[in-house]
Amino acid sequence: MTGEQIIFLIVGAVTLICGLLVVTVRNLVHAALWLVATLFGVAILYTLLNASFLAVVQVVVYIGAIAILFIFAVMLTRRQAAETGPSVNTNWWVGALMSVLTFAGLAYLLQTWSGFSKQASSIPSGFDAINQLGEALTSPVGYVLPFEVASVLLLAALVGAVYLAFNKK
């Protein structure tokens, strides 16, 4: 067991447990805070995968914006202070069965793939992921078109969200 494997096991276990808590706790603000813990675990996983820029962007975008948005939305949509009623549907066992079957199906399908137990190749020295990412996102032979379309999508979402949530008195 190398140190990296131990770290991965700990971080992976924490992420999965926090994810489980997100979907099971009754108090929604607690669920949003467990989501923050899960997102942080995913950011650590990105760092383990040598994608450190994505890890920082994950913290900034997901924890700094999306999780805050969730907490705001939970606080603004509570009918009363305490949560009433069950936290899951009446047919929650069907959902649980579906998710277990999905996991089993995915695991089975993946392990029939030949490259399933591939080991990571070492990163060539002098490889600057940020530089390469910047060039990929802005070069015409790269991915500039999806990048610009994503910007337009964000603009549309911005206008739409403001319009939908606007309180026309």
Angle between helices 3-24 and 28-48 (to 10 degrees): 160
Cβ-contact 97, 21 below 8 angstroms: no
Alpha carbon separation from 138 to 132, 145, 149 (Å, rounded): 10, 8, 12
Residue closer to other proteins by CB (options 86, 140) is 86
32-61 binders of other proteins (CB under 8 A): 32-33, 35-36, 38-39, 42, 45-46, 48-54, 56-61
Smallest distance, other proteins to C-beta of residue 145, A: 11
10 sits near other proteins (criterion: CB under 8 A) = no
Residue closer to other proteins by CB (options 121, 140) is 121
Q: Total residues contacting other proteins (rule CB under 8 A)?
A: 109
Smallest distance, other proteins to C-beta of residue 140, A: 14
145-164 mask for other proteins (x: CB under 8 A)? -xx--xx-xx-xxx-xxx-x
65-94 binders of other proteins (CB under 8 A): 65-77, 79, 85-89, 91-92, 94
User: Which tokens belong to 70?
Assistant: 């969730």
User: Which tokens belong to 153?
Assistant: 């999508």
With CB under 8 A as the contact rule, the residue among 112, 121, 126, 140 that binds other proteins is 121
Classify 50 as helix, strand or coil.
coil
What's the DSSP call for residue 103? H
Task: Output the CA torsion sign for 53, 59, 64, 68.
Answer: positive
Amino acid at 43: A
